[in-house]
Amino acid sequence: MNFFSSDFKLGILGGGQLGKMLLSETRKFDIQTYVLDPSDEAPCTIACNKFYQGDLTDFKTVYEFGKKVDVLTFEIEMVNVEALEQLEAEGVKVFPSPKTLKQIQNKGFQKDFYSRHNIPTAPYKRFISIPELIATIEAGGVTYPFVWKSAEFGYDGNGVKVVRTISDLEGLPEAECIAEEMIPFKNELAVIVARSVSGQIFTYPVVEMEFHPEANQVEYVICPARISDEVAQKARAIALEVSKKFDHVGLLAVEMFQTKDDEILVNEVAPRPHNSGHYSIEASYTSQFENHIRAILDLPLGNTDSKVAGIMVNLVGAEGFSGAVKYENIEKILDIPGVTPHIYGKKQTRPFRKMGHVTIVNENMDEARKIAETVKNTIKVISL
């Protein structure tokens, strides 16, 4: 099939920043793209061939959008899977497949999947509601501290909470959830796996994530991770195993814990481009976004090696500011060699909202980390 400068249409469900960065690759290749998103101000509106506004969880909306395209992908997991299944049954190519997405969408199903396939993960228990969880705690079936996770609709640090006392459960959604044993770990790591329709499979280098202590959001993504070769090889091997078991097509971001004993436990996965791979736009031979496009169109995958050390700093809304966004001191970070800001195109800021990221590249990792700290302390996402 001819994808380039042709009538071929690629559909993307979700028009946020991940979609916008995918579109930089489709524009490079001159691939027609249609995007569906609930907001008429979605970041993708500026870069796709056709934009449709609609509910990603509504069967009819997703189904009718999918009938307009030849290949359908998504940049967010919370989409109507039944519509994807119907489209697939009628011959529309959907990647990753609805079968893969179903196993990942619900974190309870995802954890059960790891258990079934002997993939190392933290011990857990599933509950249909908070009252059931409380009853189990009172009966001694769950002990503090543990990590509460919403089974569905969790993202960007939402839907996850460390529970140390019964009062920590107050105000949490009355929905299906998981209680996961709290693992003392050295590092949070991630490996992005690219896998094509015909089964070609590459992994990106292991990255290390540093989190904001309050918001449970990644502040820095560091590539390569500052870990031993042995641990890195183990992490990549487990990521490959997870990818093969899910039988996914496209990108799979595998988030992991490195325990105090250097064991690797899988935390969770995302079947799409991921925050932990943003560094790859500047630092890798082939960005995660380009490889997602290559994978779902069954084109040869690009080199996933890094050209240089890369660190990604998230730009999130500063506390105490809401309203029309202003990027304070952006010109100061533009004056630093090896620094590239990416502004996502969200017009309104609020505390901790993801508004962009900055990539720092440098041949020296220690120097890159210092510059990342300077960037973090210089640029501020505030309101007018």
107 is in an annotated binding site: yes
Residue type, 320: G
181 is in an annotated binding site: yes
Contact of 291 with 273, CB cutoff 8 Å: no
75 is in an annotated binding site: no
- C-alpha angle 95-50-15 in degrees, rounded to nearest 5: 55
For residues 315 and 312, give the distance between their C-alpha atoms in angstroms, rounded to a whole number. Answer: 10
Q: Is 27 helix (H, G, I), strand (E, B) or coil?
A: helix
Residues 6+ positions from 132 with CB-CB distance below 8 Å = none
Q: Give me the helix-helix angle, 288-296 and 17-29, nearest 10°.
A: 70
Contact of 298 with 292, CB cutoff 8 Å: no
293 is in an annotated binding site: no
176 is in an annotated binding site: no
For residues 368 and 360, give the distance between their C-alpha atoms in angstroms, rounded to a whole number. Answer: 6
149 is in an annotated binding site: yes
For residues 224 and 364, give the distance between their C-alpha atoms in angstroms, rounded to a whole number. Answer: 11
188 is in an annotated binding site: yes
Q: How far apart are the first and last CA of the chain?
A: 48
267 is in an annotated binding site: yes
CA distances from 146 to 87, 151, 212 (A): 40, 15, 19
For residues 254 and 212, give the distance between their C-alpha atoms in angstroms, rounded to a whole number. Answer: 20
Residue type, 55: D
Kindly compute the dihedral angle of the four CA atoms of residues 175, 178, 184, 187, in this order, to the nearest 10 degrees. -80
Contact of 266 with 190, CB cutoff 8 Å: no
Residue type, 277: G
For residues 8 and 322, give the distance between their C-alpha atoms in angstroms, rounded to a whole number. Answer: 41
Contact of 21 with 79, CB cutoff 8 Å: no
Contact of 277 with 222, CB cutoff 8 Å: no
Contact of 265 with 231, CB cutoff 8 Å: no
183 is in an annotated binding site: yes
Q: Which residue has the tokens 């496209």?
A: 250
Residue type, 312: M
List residues forming the annotated binding site.
107, 149, 180-183, 188, 267-268
List residues forming the annotated binding site for ATP.
107, 149, 180-183, 188, 267-268
